[in-house]
């Protein structure tokens, strides 16, 4: 799974399968800026000069369009094929399952957004399940590589304080 997650086309395919316009409408009242998950445009890395601003725009827009057919094609191209049941497998044919890990004490909007994300990915054949994790010890599990994803919504500005 680590090898697959490190494959840019896999991550881009998952991104193209996210219906950001629906998320923006349903949860953010048509506000905000659809993004691929970069830091905030206010982050120092992007606002220090014009080059930083252009980098932000290119990363923000890299795979932000909602295009499930493109996502399917990209997955096919890297060997993540759909079986007869429509569910995709790893390139070696073993089951592919993504857990959307989030803090168990999170808000209802995050859970609902994750449910929509799982449904979007199901539409392209990805088996994704929600996985609430107790807040206690969660950071340690993340640091140890024991959690597959971090499905909490929101973008920071890169500041640590």
The tens place of each residue's pLDDT in the chain, 161 residues long, gives 999 999 999 999 999 999 999 999 998 899 888 888 777 888 888 889 999 999 999 999 999 999 999 999 999 999 999 999 999 999 999 999 999 999 999 999 999 999 999 999 999 999 999 999 998 888 899 899 999 988 877 655 555 44
Q: How far, in Å, CA of 37 to CA of 22, rounded?
A: 16
CA-nearest of 43, 34, 28 to 15 is 34
Taking a C-beta distance cutoff of 8 angstroms, is the pair 62, 12 a contact? yes
| β-strand partners of 16 | none
Residue whose token pair is 């999170």: 106
Residue spans of the domains in the chain: they are 2-34+44-143
Burial of 133 (0-12, 13-18, 19+ CB in 10 A): buried
**CATH 2.20.25.240 for the 2-34+44-143 domain, yes or no:** no
- The pLDDT value recorded for residue 160 is 45
- The pLDDT value recorded for residue 161 is 41
CA angle 108, 149, 84 (to 5 degrees): 95
CA-nearest of 8, 10, 9 to 98 is 10
Element holding 22 (H helix, E strand): helix 20-28
Q: How far, in Å, CA of 134 to CA of 121, rounded?
A: 25
């Amino acid at each position: 799974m680590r090898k697959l997650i490190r494959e840019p086309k896999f991550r881009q395919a998952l991104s193209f399968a996210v219906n950001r316009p629906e998320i923006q409408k349903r949860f953010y009242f048509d506000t905000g800026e659809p993004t691929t998950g970069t830091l905030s445009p206010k982050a120092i890395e992007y606002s220090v000069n014009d080059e930083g601003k252009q980098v932000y725009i290119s990363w923000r827009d890299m795979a932000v369009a909602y295009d499930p057919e493109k996502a399917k094609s990209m997955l096919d191209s890297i060997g993540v094929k759909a079986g007869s049941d429509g569910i995709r497998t790893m390139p070696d044919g073993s089951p592919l399952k993504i857990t959307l890990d989030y803090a168990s004490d999170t808000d209802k909007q995050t859970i609902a957004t994750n449910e929509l994300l799982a449904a979007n990915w199901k539409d392209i054949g990805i088996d994704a399940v929600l996985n609430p994790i107790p807040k206690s010890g969660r950071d340690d599990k993340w640091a140890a590589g024991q959690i597959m994803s971090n499905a909490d919504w929101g973008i920071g500005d890169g500041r640590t304080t």
